[in-house]
């Protein structure tokens, strides 16, 4: 068995395809693998990153590079762990992040098990993130890549720390997507100009409200739109149609701009308020996963971000049994239940993370 055999997750896109080239150049024995994740009940091909087209594109790249390619049927697990969770969270008036769930259970769960079956020492993906051995923490750690705007560590905090040393991110030193496309062109890859997927893979038209109405089980009913003090301003069309921080399309008039600041599932209310009421410096998080550290009970000073596009901000973590209380030095805008908070040290190393309560 080769000591440098790696199973590469291939979505049929340019990032994972170029990752195969880079791994080959580094001397790895590469095996390509695509997960079949989603097939809707009506039979239409909707998945943008792991459907039939993605499998075909990945196979063509592997054929060109002379490496084997496998497909894994993960549709049942994907439906249970990602799609069903997505629906259930929205029906609880929470806002989930399906990419994080997919990484947790599929891309660094089932995929890692498949790698062991194929006697691979490593798994690799086209994520923009970095893995390195830290002398400070005396272990392998997940770290932000060089380009902050492309960094994807926010989606990867659920990876078990025990397998970080078995993960390779071939793109960790690249900061420009044009560099990646240039490599693809130079190697005659058919996916060189393939567009990046920007939406949820199982909702390619990005119309999540229609998706939830089609697959959800809870009937969305009309309720009140209210101010924080309980004053009724109008009616809403169902909680799934509103998000924290939303201003446009609420459907009410008021002397000053109002934003959605809370969704109350119990009372079926959309609570609105001023821009200032969107900001707070405290949250609670559950389902914690720690990578670089193991909390001992003392407060932990860190940098934290509450959504993928948010900037990191100074915060202090207080562990309370199976959850964490997080206090930011400065107020944060539109903290949203169901999203994740990810903790970093000052060097960009991921300490851990959890789901916002």
Q: Where in the sequence numbering do the catalytic residues fall?
A: 102, 201
Task: For strands 223-227 and 269-273, give the pairing.
Answer: parallel
Two structure tokens written together for 74: 């993960």
Q: How far apart are CA 183 and CA 181, in angstroms?
A: 5
Task: For strands 5-9 and 122-124, give the pairing.
Answer: parallel
Distance of CA 259 to the CA centre of its chain: 25
- In angstroms, how far apart are the furthest CA atoms of the chain? 71
The three-point CA angle 202-205-208 to 5° equals 65
Asked if residues 200 and 207 have their Cβ atoms less than 8 Å apart, the reply is no
> In the 3-class helix/strand/coil scheme, how is 50-97 assigned residue by residue?
CCHHHHHHHHHHHHHHCCCEEEEECHHHHHHHHHHHHHHHHHCCCCCC
């Amino acid at each position: 068995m080769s000591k440098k055999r790696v199973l590469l997750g291939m979505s049929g896109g340019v990032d994972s395809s170029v990752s195969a080239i880079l791994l080959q150049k580094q001397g790895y024995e590469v095996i390509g693998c695509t997960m079949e994740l989603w097939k809707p009940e009506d039979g239409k091909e909707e998945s943008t990153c792991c459907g039939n087209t993605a499998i075909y594109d990945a196979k063509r790249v592997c054929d060109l590079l002379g490496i084997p390619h496998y497909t894994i049927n993960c549709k049942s697990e994907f439906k249970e762990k990602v799609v069903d969770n997505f629906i259930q969270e929205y029906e609880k008036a929470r806002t989930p992040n399906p990419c994080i769930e997919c990484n947790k259970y599929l891309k660094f769960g089932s995929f890692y098990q498949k790698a062991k079956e194929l006697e691979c020492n490593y798994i690799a993906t086209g994520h923009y993130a970095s893995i390195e051995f830290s002398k400070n923490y005396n272990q392998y750690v997940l770290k932000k890549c060089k380009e902050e705007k492309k960094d994807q560590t926010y989606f990867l905090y659920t990876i078990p720390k025990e397998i970080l040393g078995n993960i390779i991110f071939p793109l960790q030193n690249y900061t420009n997507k044009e560099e990646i496309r240039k490599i693809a062109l130079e190697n005659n890859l058919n996916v060189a100009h393939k567009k990046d997927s920007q939406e949820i893979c199982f909702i390619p038209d990005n119309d999540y409200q229609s998706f939830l109405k089609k697959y959800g089980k809870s009937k969305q009913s009309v309720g009140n739109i209210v101010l924080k003090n309980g004053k009724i301003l109008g009616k809403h069309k169902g909680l799934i149609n509103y998000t924290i921080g939303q201003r446009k399309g609420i459907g009410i008039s008021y002397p000053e701009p109002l934003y959605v600041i809370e969704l109350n599932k119990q009372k079926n209310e959309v609570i609105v308020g001023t821009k200032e009421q969107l900001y707070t410096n405290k949250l609670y998080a559950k389902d914690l996963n720690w990578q670089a550290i193991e909390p001992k009970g003392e407060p932990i000073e860190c940098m934290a971000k509450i959504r993928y596009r948010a900037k990191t901000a100074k915060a202090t973590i207080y562990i309370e049994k199976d959850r964490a209380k997080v206090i930011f030095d400065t107020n944060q805008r539109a903290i949203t239940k169901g999203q994740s908070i990810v903790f970093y040290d000052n060097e960009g190393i991921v300490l851990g993370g959890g789901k916002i309560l």
